[in-house]
Amino acid sequence: MSNNVLSVSGLSIGYTTKTSTIIAQDIGLNLGHGKLVSLIGANGVGKSTLLRTITGIQKPLSGSVSLDGQPIDSYNPLALAQKLSIVLTEKLPPSNLTVFELVALGRQPYTNWIGKLTEEDIVKINEAIALTQIEPLLQKRHYEISDGQLQKVLIARALAQDTPLIILDEPTTHLDLLHKATLFRLLKKLTLETNKCILFSTHDIDLAIQLSDEMIVMTPNSIVQGSPEELIAANAFDAIFKDESILFDKEKGKFVFIQ
Amino acid sequence: MGNNKRNSFLFLLLIVGTLLLFLLNISLGSVRIPIKEVINSLTGQQVSKETWDYIVVNYRLPKAITAMLVGMGLSISGLLMQTLFRNPLAGPYVLGLSSGSSLGVAFVIMGAGILPGFMAAFLVSSYGIILASCLGSFGVLIAVLVVSQRLRDTMAILIVGLMFGSFTSAMVSVLTYFSNAEQLQKFTFWSLGNLGNLSWISISILAIAVGIGLSLGIYSIKPLDSLLLGENYAKSVGLNYKKMRLVIIFATSILAGSITAFAGPIAFIGLAVPHIAKLVFRTSAHNKLFWSTLLFGAMIMLFCDIICQLPGTDITLPINAVTSVIGAPIVIWLLVQKRSF
């Protein structure tokens, strides 16, 4: 249990508006250090809801989420920020931020009231820059670099925040195949070199199967976690898409289309 | 790094510029007082003409100090509003505060006829106007705060502020419709702004209020930086968003409210100066933006006031006329030059 960065048990997620809408219930998950975990599922099955509940943005309907051994709602915003960092795909508001300033923002949970960077902060920032290899970009404004480069910068920012768990929301959308694969490999390398747990949602199931340590497969009726091999053997991928023209081929380990 | 050197140099220029304009502001006017004599007067030394000493100490020095306080306070509140609402068109009055002030003052000047004689006399005095302005902007502030506590979306607060502004402006229009020419002129004069005629007590109160507002602004520098990435990222680095929003709204209210109470609604400075600072320093880091906005605000206000005095003549222009006429072309020129935001 203590080896896990994130533990979820008996979790029910959904919305409480006028009528309670349950997206999924009785979820149990364990994410360990140094693991690259991908979250997959069809559109609308509730991946974003699950991520929002795990990160504390949304309240669970029932059950518990524990981060580093403690319930997630026992953390104040600052303490939570030192355990969990995020990488999103939303467009950044217009500003003159340089790449270095952007990465440095990841140190805010540790700096004093005026945000002064100490020696240790600079060390962490430089480590993050080295791991993502964005040195040539440091003085450029954030709108002057490509989407793929910006994503590496945002990942560097999350690394500078020095949290045991990093969550990425669909990081591979908008990227071409080469950049998708490069991103996956970068995330994998980060888990190996920093022992952080990285959880990300994605629609690139084939790549996820090839490169993740573990996967969480969400279908309307169940949420299962396991290594790609275990999940293939357990036929977990069959239930993702309800369409009969898409089948999961166990030997090839990928989805194929039936004409 | 070249950028750091450039910034240090610019800051030096700003500090020297502010000092120069301060002295120039005191020196120029319908009576021209040489700068050397101004310095003599300020440092308590012998001044050639007694009248000069009198003018400096009793009229020009208070006005110059007021100009600096107004320039600094309005431009910082403009900066806070622009970053909080992520809207370059936001200014200190975007929460409807100056409309609230106008309504309070309009009541006093144009509605005082309804009240018994002695009350009317007090109200129309300068203290009555200051009080009415404070109550008016405070009223709008409370309304905006109450509504904002129930709103999650910050943009909605912007719209609420604008709506309160429209509402109070409409009520002011009704009051003006039913007033006579003398009341109308008095109200118009108030709304054109006035940096002079403040007693030392008033200036002290204004200085304290502006000091509080600026301190809250400094306290907000780190949260504002985190907001540069958007609300989601800001919260993910530990920002207590609701608290920060409240602090910023409160800071703006103290700054804009107190300044409007003592000097009337001064247009354009709060909106333009943050842009000037951003365009000259080309940064979004709020520590640099705070101090540059502060100094630019002081300088520009002193400069506008010099122009208002129309040095060498006996005429003075209202401050609001000058701020917009000077400010707008500067912003346009800078935008065309730099093509950056």
C-alpha distances in Å from residue B331, one per residue of B92, B95, B272, B293, B341: 17, 23, 7, 14, 11
Instruction: Give the model's confidence band at A255: pLDDT under 50 very low, under 70 low, under 90 confident, else very high.
Output: confident
Instruction: Give the model's confidence band at A251: pLDDT under 50 very low, under 70 low, under 90 confident, else very high.
Output: confident
- pLDDT score at B336: 82
Q: Which positions in chain A touch B244 (Cβ < 8 Å)?
A: none
Is residue B25 within 8 A of residue B305, CB to CB? The reply is: yes
Model confidence at B14: pLDDT above 80: yes
Is residue A143 within 8 A of residue A87, CB to CB? The reply is: no
Q: Chain centroid to CA B280: how far? A: 21
For A179, the 3-state DSSP assignment is: helix
- pLDDT exceeding 90 applies to what percent of chain A? 50
Alpha carbon distance B75, B279 (integer Å): 14
Among B3, B86, B215, B229, pick the best mutation site for testing chain A contact (most A Cβ within 10 A): B229
Select from B218, B228, B340 the Cβ nearest to the Cβ of A97: B228
The token duo for B20 is 């120069």
Model confidence at A1: pLDDT above 50: no
- pLDDT score at B201: 92
Average pLDDT, chain B: 88
| Residue in chain A lying closest to B289 (CA) | A96
Alpha carbon distance B341, A248 (integer Å): 50
Distance from CA of A47 to the nearest CA of B (A): 17
Instruction: Give the model's confidence band at B341: pLDDT under 50 very low, under 70 low, under 90 confident, else very high.
Output: very low
- List beta partners, residue A249: A254
| Residue in chain A lying closest to B241 (CA) | A77
CB contact under 8 A, B284 and A101: yes
- pLDDT score at A72: 87
- pLDDT score at B130: 87
Select from B222, B233, B341 the Cβ nearest to the Cβ of A113: B222
Q: Which positions in chain A touch B278 (Cβ < 8 Å)?
A: 96
Question: Among A207-211, B150-154, B324-328, which range has the highest average pLDDT?
Answer: A207-211
- DSSP letter string over A66-85? EETTEEGGGS-HHHHHTTEE
Alpha carbon distance B322, B196 (integer Å): 15
Q: Which positions in chain B touch A80 (Cβ < 8 Å)?
A: 238
Backbone angles phi, psi at A167, to 5 degrees: -115, 130
CB contact under 8 A, A90 and B232: yes
pLDDT tens digit sequence for B29-75: 888 888 888 888 888 888 888 888 888 888 999 999 999 999 999 99
**From chain A, which residues contact B within 8 Å (Cβ)?**
55, 57, 77-82, 84-86, 88, 90, 92-97, 101-102, 105-106, 108-109, 111, 113-115, 139, 161
CB contact under 8 A, A93 and B228: yes
ipTM: 0.91
The token duo for A222 is 């169940």
- pLDDT score at B29: 83
Is residue A11 within 8 A of residue A63, CB to CB? The reply is: yes
Model confidence at B122: pLDDT above 80: no
Average pLDDT, chain A: 89
CB contact under 8 A, A77 and B238: yes
Q: Which positions in chain A touch B229 (Cβ < 8 Å)?
A: 92-93, 97, 102, 105
- pLDDT score at B338: 65
Is residue B193 within 8 A of residue B320, CB to CB? The reply is: yes
Among A95, A101, A142, pick the best mutation site for testing chain B contact (most B Cβ within 10 A): A95
Lowest mean pLDDT among A101-115, B136-150, B286-300: B136-150
CB contact under 8 A, B230 and A92: yes
Strand positions, DSSP E, chain A: 4-16, 20-32, 36-41, 62-67, 70-71, 84-87, 165-168, 197-201, 214-218, 223-226, 246-249, 254-257
Amino acid at A83: K
Q: What is the pTM of this model?
A: 0.89
CB contact under 8 A, A105 and B218: no
The token duo for B74 is 């309005």
CB contact under 8 A, A96 and B284: yes
Among B154, B226, B231, B237, pick the best mutation site for testing chain A contact (most A Cβ within 10 A): B237
Model confidence at A159: pLDDT above 70: yes
Alpha-carbon torsion (B167, B209, B54, B60), positive or negative: negative
CB contact under 8 A, A93 and B285: no
Amino acid at B8: S
Alpha carbon distance A154, A85 (integer Å): 11
Distance from CA of B215 to the nearest CA of A (A): 12
Instruction: Spell out the SS3 assignment of chain B.
Output: CHHHHHHHHHHHHHHHHHHHHHHHHHHCCCCCCCHHHHHHHHCCCCCCCHHHHHHHHHHHHHHHHHHHHHHHHHHHHHHHHHHHCCCCCCCHHHHCHHHHHHHHHHHHHHHHHHCCHHHHHHHHCHHHHHHHHHHHHHHHHHHHHHHHHCCCCHHHHHHHHHHHHHHHHHHHHHHHHCCCHHHHHHHHHHHCCCCCCCCHHHHHHHHHHHHHHHHHHHHCHHHHHHHCCCHHHHHHCCCCHHHHHHHHHHHHHHHHHHHHHHHCCCCCHHHHHHHHHHHHHCCCCHHHHHHHHHHHHHHHHHHHHHHHCCCCCCCCCCHHHHHHHHHHHHHHHHHHHHCCC
